[in-house]
Structure 1
Amino acid sequence: MKKWLSTLALVGAAMFAFSTAPAHAEGEVALDRAPDNADNFASLQHGAQLFVNYCLNCHSANLMRYNRLTDLGIDPKEIQANLLFTTDKIGNTMSVAMRPDDAKTWFGTTPPDLSVEARARGKDWLYTYLRSFYRDETRPTGWNNRVYENVGMPHVLWALQGIRTAKFETETDEKTGEKVKHFAGYTQVTPGTMSPVDYDSAMADLVSYLSWMSEPAQQTRKRLGVWVLIFLGVLSFLAWRLNASYWKDIK
């Protein structure tokens, strides 16, 4: 019971942390479909590496233990040597050293725990969000995001993607006469260490890992569900034929 209450609390905290964005921000941006890499261990391992190196500095994952990464085929020694940055024991949870009060002072809000963020937001939202940052000097962090307007999070992956600015065009609405701002594309100011294609692929890996982390037993559950449905189908057929056999001589 406590585990379920903890999970619900984290989902609520994640949704509350993002609630300061304008209500129209998500509805105006079409979400890109995230590639499905749930069965690709190489993709999930790369996503775990990106998460530990770029996300775990500010965002915790208190429902995930480092030793669960062995489910992705990562050797415990490799976890100890290359992925264990926030603690010294592989059995500990993925917590962060940054204090919530400091985070709120620096970013305006406490970064949400990402243990179940993929279930709260959805893979498509996360995939589009991570690829929609642009330079905005009017913001305290110097960055903004089309999916989450005026977000407090800086673009921590800018070195990989490079620096981009967003182009907006202002048009007059024929019905209301009000001026409406429309997005007209990005302009690449400086290149990143990754090409646009490679960056999109890396974000797909990161989102796939976040989705796996939100429910590590997801694939097992789905495979087991298929066998359960097959069993129920066979059992239903046998029950139907047995029922017909019992009642065949009764008119």
Structure 2
Amino acid sequence: MPEPLLIQRRDDRVLATLSRPEVRNAIDQDTIDRLHALCGELERKPRTLILIGADGVFASGADIAQLRDRRAGDARRGINTRAFQRVRNLPMPVIAAIDGHALGGGAELAYAADIRIGTPRLQIGNPETGLGIIAAAGATWRLPEIVGQARAAEMLLTGRILDAATAVEWGLVSSLYEPDDLLAAANTIADRIARNDPLATRHTKTALLAPFAAHPEIELELQAQLFESPEKDRRMTAFLERKRR
């Protein structure tokens, strides 16, 4: 049985490739199980995660053949939702590198990332209402945070699929690269992250994910921890010494 999630590990990052090309990388239960296992690994040993799809597609959505057979109890278990929550809450940044279609559950997995980049042939959105269901794995609360309430409502209520130019204009993806350059661009972002202090990066992500009511106290506490860090002293000393040269 082919692996639905191909994983390559480095000291400072993990590349996870959605790989079910026969169904355009549709997300099935096996993929979700592999995502949970990967999240467990990255919770124990935090590293940047790059998510990408094989064969010019990010993910065409949830596996409709499985989704059709699910019932109320399956919905309440949040099969995709719980996995995407773990992706969102990983200690280190998550980069979604999106080529081609990211639809339905595939879009919701991308919304769970901290950074989204794409290609000019990107198509992203949530056509769930056309299939008699709602986008229940993060779109209704993450998408308004990303593109604003009005644009999220238009996308989710009409099933509108955004092209690459509109996705950039709306802030859903930050930049576009040619398909052959997409993975290199994601790795360049991961390189920039790797040059920074890992604890400061983790604390920044914690602050970004905190509810509005937690600010500014959460930043002050996280900063207090960093002010006592030997790495802060080392980096600032090195900065001052470079300035003196």
- Does the alignment reach a TM-score above 0.5? no
TM-score by length of 2: 0.24
TM-score by length of 1: 0.23
| Greater Rg over alpha carbons, structure | 1
* Larger helix percent: 2
